[in-house]
Structure 1
């Protein structure tokens, strides 16, 4: 996934805000911090990142943005959210816990659907 300069700037801000505050910023806080003129501009950019799979936004809830990618700051490479699920499934499969194995199977089914397998 290739991010535009504005998308990267927005994700950097959200990531830093969450790291510092422990919760996500409001659209108004994003608008003020990044110098946008309206909240609707922020919403448009957020919706684009949600569509790309870089963010999760819970409708009807304040401060509900979540990052869905791991970013390597040295190379600026992004990892899609579904790769994170693959890693989580592998961790759960590696345990001796039966419940974890069932959860891994559910994750694998979801990944198959996402990947169109």
Structure 2
């Protein structure tokens, strides 16, 4: 799991955010999902777990043994496409790196100026 909407500081509350989730399958596939975190006055909600993409046969016949996202740092400008990287390891001692393109998250509940 990686937070794509990092707070201003490590001690700041998360607030409304979007996460990327990777789940390894028993067929050497990796399923990617998006998940939203929304803050309400009474409680924090995790919702809208949506499938995004499935990477098939990532390590051939070897099972995936580990997954790790790179740290995403929000860019100061949005001139070029943004990516988050996902590394996976297998029982056959192979490593695969995937670059996952990102789209800008628009908070439809945020007031516009």
Bin of the TM-score, shorter chain as denominator length: under 0.3
Task: Give the strand-richer structure, 1 or 2.
Answer: 2
Question: What TM-score do you get using the length of structure 2 for normalisation?
Answer: 0.25
Kindly indicate which of the two structures has a greater share of residues assigned to helix: 1
**TM-score, reference length from structure 1:** 0.25
